[in-house]
Structure 1
Amino acid sequence: MPTGFNGRWLRVNLSTEEVRVETVPEEVYRAYLGGRGICAYILFRELRPGVDPLGSENKLVFATSVVTGAPVPGVNRVSVAAKSPLTGTYGEAEAGGFFAVEMKFSGFDVIVFEGAARRPVYLWVKDGRAELRDASHLWGLTTKETAEAIRRELGEPLARVACIGSAGERLVRFANVIFDNRYAAGRGGLGAVMGSKKLKAVAIRGMRRPFEFHDPRRLAEIARWYAESWRRYPGAVSRSTYGTPELVTPLSRDGTLPTLNFRGGSFEGADAISGETLNRTILVSREGCFACPLRCKAVVKARPPYETDPAYGGPEYETIASFGSLCGVGDLNAIAYANQVCNAYGVDT
């Protein structure tokens, strides 16, 4: 049994609807480890210069790493990459949550999509098996509607779903890929690449761990140390309490908060959109990514007329700054609603 990786990649040709498994030697993992390293390795080897980012020759990669699945924080993110339609160069983005772990537990470290489907499709992967399924009935749905419909169709309420909304379908060049309604591979327009390939979603269910780590006992010790010691560090406690919105107040105080289209660095309404105010007014709960005790992700419910669905999570610092101080908006309810609209349509914030 391999240590730290499965050694199996999925190669999905959307043009021919062929799905095949590739066996990859350990040397590739030792050289590139996984994640963005593996993404770059694949794309720079397989894409010719001048490829149209929204053409069928572009390739889209979902990648885990040799440490995905380890019970420690910060290592369980999924990398998504392609030639970016936004920049025309290499584009890579990452998302947290649980998708990466489920993907690796399903038996595959990497999924490479090539070609373009004639009709909308989604990929279903479960415990070493994979198939393309029709997604015509999903085209036009929001990200939440898509994920819910796929789970009902498969009879898999715990399936993890990465999908695009209408922005990706319409090839908006800053469309993103949304994971389970609230996590995003945001940068580079990778949602538009999915849309150009008529790939509406990727659904994953991994029920077992088909690999081992080299020294499970030492790894468990490290995980236990982190779980017991993070509360000693004020920065970690603050991040756990307020999430990334904790940055709003200190950045405004220091004059480095993006304000009024960068005409200023301090926002007079900063306190109204701060992490402290979010906790006091619209916070419902907090959740975290796989094996991370910080649980910094906010789940919010804004008040009318900007009422929001907690299924879409809540705004991170970047979204609060973009829709808040940068636009001169000091209403957290409005910002939370804008965040929901962008998550539903699959738009980068």
Structure 2
Amino acid sequence: MAYGCNGKILHIGLTTNKIEEETPPEYFYRKYLGGSAMGMYYILRDTPVGVDPLAPENVLTIMTSVTTGVPISGQSRININAKSPMSGAIGDSQGGGYFPAELKFAGYDGIVVKGKAAAPVYLSILNGKAELHDASHLVGKMTGEVDSILKAEVGDPKAQVLQYGPGAEAGVRFSSIVSMANRNNGRTGMGLVMASKNLKAIVVRGKGKVQIADPKGFSKVSKLGPKWLPENADVDGLGKYGTASVVLPQNMMGTLPTYNYNEGQFDLAEDISGERMYDTVLKERDTCYACIVKCKRVVE
């Protein structure tokens, strides 16, 4: 198997309550690498033409990539894809945090979800063992509560939880999928797709490691980040102001999505900028696995 991959994709059949492991060949990984490309392979192959985004037949994919889980800044990312309930077209949602790396440590490169459970369930993936459990006791609870409950149930405070919240339960079409209780895979309504399948949450914990072809060479390269990134003005701005640091530059260029993309500039852009957040409501900064940038905002 190619380095950077576990060589296993987990397939969850919620209608049939069936869990299967797929071991794709190495050329599959070399062709698609991971992320949205890998997710779209399964969606284009298995999603029926014209399917309703909230139908059980809509395929939901959760994919890491080759570098996910390696100790270097910016690599703990996960892509979630399905037909979007907002547009009826492809939904592509990306997020960070610790869940992506933990999924790799647990032995899987991605998850393909099909069907719909008869009642709310959650999926546990603990060191390569996957099981479905009743989740009726989690319905209606806030994401922080669910996060704490599932960590207690699996007996490990370092477990990572991916879930949908009350917004998705209420049918909000732009609802997100959330990890770490407040890290959002935003955009395109993937939270509602997950909710339509009654897959309340996924909790993962693993103690594996991502295999690297040249550990010594990688270690040398990884040390360049802590040396170079703090001196880079763009990265410093990203850490200081978060991803909202791009609001004002985009607004100036006329590329800030405004009024459902009818316009490219927003009169009140300064009020939603990273700079304004920094001056008013920012409490602290947080980070993702092995990342020194700390672009996540904690506000009050």
TM-score, normalising length from structure 2?
A: 0.91
1:115–1:250 Cα change, 3 Å: closer
AA of the residue aligned to 1:240: G
Matches within 5 A, 1:1-349: 2-209=2-209, 211-248=210-247, 265=265, 267=267, 270=270, 274-301=273-300
Aligned to 1:314: none
CA deviation string 1:47-101 (max 9, x = no partner): 2212221111111111111111122223320111112122222212110111110
Write the deviation string for residues 212-268 of structure 1: whole angstroms up to 9, x where unpaired: 111122211221112211123211112222223334555667777677997894646
CA distance in 2, matches of 1:257, 1:111: 33
SS in 2 for 1:50: coil
Structure 1 SS opposite 2:189: helix
The 10-residue stretch of structure 1 (85-94 or 259-268) with the greater mean CA deviation from structure 2: 259-268
Change in 2 beyond 3 A, CA 1:269/1:191:
closer
Q: How many residues align?
A: 299
User: For residue 175 of structure 1, what is the amino acid of its counterpart?
Assistant: S
Aligned counterparts of 2:80 and 2:243: Cα–Cα separation in 1: 22
Residues of 2 paired with 1:226 and 1:264: CA distance?
34
| Residue 182 of structure 1, CA deviation | 2.1
1:310-348 Cα distance to aligned partner (Å, 9 max, x none): xxxxxxxxxxxxxxxxxxxxxxxxxxxxxxxxxxxxxxx
Q: CA deviation at 1:171?
A: 3.0
Does the 8 Å CA contact 1:164/1:177 hold for their aligned counterparts?
yes
Is contact 2:251–2:269 with CA below 8 Å preserved after alignment? no
The one-letter amino acid of 1:82's match is A
**1:265/1:40 CA distance change after superposition, 3 Å:** closer
Displacement of 1:39 after TM fit? 0.4
Instruction: Decide whether the 8 Å contact of 1:67 with 1:75 is kept in 2.
Output: yes
Per-residue deviation, 1:12 = 0.9
SS at match of 1:140: coil
SS, match of residue 6 in structure 2: coil
Q: Which amino acid aligns with 1:125?
A: I
One-letter amino acid matched to 1:53: P
Amino acid at match of 2:221: I
Corresponding residue SS for 1:246: helix
Q: Secondary structure at the match of 2:223?
A: helix
CA distance, structure 1, for counterparts of residue 125 and residue 173 of structure 2: 27
Q: Which has the larger radius of gyration?
A: 1
Counterpart of 2:227, as a letter, is E
The 3 A distance-change label for structure 1 pair 248 and 94 is closer
Distance 1:37 1:249 in 2: 30
Measure, in 1, the Cα distance between the counterparts of 2:132 and 2:106. Answer: 16
CA, structure 1 residues 259+175, in 2 after alignment: closer, same or farther (shift >3 Å)?
closer
Q: Matches of 2:292 and 2:116 in 1, distance apart? A: 40
Which residue identity lines up with residue 245 of structure 1 in the other structure?
A: A
Given that 1:254 and 1:266 are in contact with CA atoms closer than 8 Å, whether structure 2 keeps it comes out as: no
Structure 2 CA distance, aligned partners of 1:218 and 1:163? Answer: 37
What's the secondary structure of 1:295's corresponding residue? coil
TM-score (norm 1): 0.79
Q: Secondary structure at the match of 2:188?
A: helix
Name 1:345's counterpart in structure 2. none
134-143 or 251-260, larger mean C-alpha shift? 251-260
**Cα distance between partner residues in 1 of 2:38 and 2:168:** 24
Amino acid in structure 1 at the alignment position of 2:171: L
Distance 1:99 1:247 in 2: 25
Conserved? CA contact 2:248–2:269, under 8 Å: no
Q: Which runs of 5+ in 1 are unaligned?
A: 302-349
Distance 1:51 1:227 in 2: 47
Structure 2 partner of 1:330: none
Instruction: Classify the secondary structure of the residue corresponding to 2:162.
Output: strand
One-letter identity of the residue aligned with 2:54: L
- Aligned residues with identical type, % of pairs: 40
CA distance 1:266–1:111, change in 2 (3 Å) = closer
Structure 1 CA distance for aligned equivalents of residues 162 and 16 of structure 2: 22
Checking the alignment, whether the CA contact within 8 Å between 1:84 and 1:90 is kept in structure 2 is: yes
CA RMSD of aligned residues (A): 2.3
